[in-house]
Amino acid sequence: MRATTITRAAAAAALAAAVLAGCGLGGTEKKSLAGKDSLVIGVKEDQPALGVKRPDGTYEGFDVDVATYIAGRLGVPKSRITWRTTNSSVREEALAKGTVDMIVATYSITPKRKMKVTFGGPYYVAHQDTFVRADAASIRDVRDLKDKRICEVRGSNSWRRVIEERKVAAKPVTVDTYGACMDALAAGRLDAVSTDDLILAGFAAGRPGRMINAPFTDEKYGVGLRKGDLKGCEEVNRAITAMYQDGTAERLLTKWFGKSGLKLTTSVPQFEGCT
Ligand code: GLU
């Protein structure tokens, strides 16, 4: 019977260790997104049709609507969401520090980011394209960006797609946001802004210039979560599936991008899997 006693003691010790390690019972920092009754959500503030901070401090856009829907499915009403501007360069850090609970901000799932972030989704797959001034007839393809000044947004992946992945020797000009890129393009400090077609379409509606219509990547827009929150991730994926099944995704895509001329995909994207 001694063996049984020892086994019981070992089991109790293992259980205590698991509890101390925070297996679902730790402090708020380790709490899954799935169990929260209010949420801080990171979005962009200067990307028309995706994430915009209005003068009155409220936010609007496709990402804001998607995040509101997901939060609702997780049991958090709009009134218990706090929105926080989260630029490209601070996304991973904001999740790691817990200053936001989730990020819905044109945030592409990439292998490098997956090392630091758990991604739900994707909730949409965009494609990188390029926006130029109306007089730039010679830029028709990503290869034509060689020796051209393109925008490098800190923490964003788009300039890497051109220079590192496509090996096109463009000249990056660094700024903090895509709004700043568009201003620099209009002022003649840049020759092109190459990034997701949804972002460019949002800006194009209010500015002169044109999209070259030569998409060359898949940008899987993920819902960024604290690394390791697999339970939260699975709930987010269930919410995204419901968003497509109940017609909300199609309604929101039409609401924000219906007039853009982009070919919109209204079937649920292939999920990456929660890791
Ligand atoms: N989707 C790209 C990325 O996540 C560009 C847009 C952005 O930086 O928010 O890097």
Q: Give the residue-averaged pLDDT of 14-39.
A: 62
Which mutation among 43, 52, 86, 88 tests ligand 1's pocket best, with the greatest number of atoms within 8 A of CB?
88
Phi, psi angle pair for 118, to nearest 5°? -95, 130
Q: Is 234 within the bounds of a domain?
A: yes
CA–centroid distance, 218 to ligand 1, in Å, is: 12
> Mean pLDDT of all residues in the chain?
92
CA–centroid distance, 106 to ligand 1, in Å, is: 5
Domain that residue 166 falls in: 127-217
Q: Give the residue-averaged pLDDT of 113-126.
A: 98
Atom nearest to 157 CA in ligand 1: 10
Whether residue 85 sits in one domain with residue 98 = yes
Q: 9-23, 120-134, 215-229: which has the minimum mean pLDDT?
A: 9-23
Q: Is 273 within the bounds of a domain?
A: no
Atom nearest to 221 CA in ligand 1: 1
pTM: 0.90
Whether residue 212 sits in one domain with residue 136 = yes
Whether residue 232 sits in one domain with residue 108 = yes
Q: Is 61 within the bounds of a domain?
A: yes
Whether residue 188 sits in one domain with residue 75 = no
Residue with the nearest Cα to atom 8 of ligand 1? 156
Q: Give the residue-averaged pLDDT of 129-136.
A: 95
Q: Which CATH number do you get for residue 206?
A: 3.40.190.10
Asked whether residue 25 carries a pLDDT value surpassing 50, the answer given is no
- What is the number of domains present in the chain? 2
- Give 37-80 pLDDT, tens digit per residue: 999 999 999 999 999 999 999 999 999 999 999 999 999 999 99
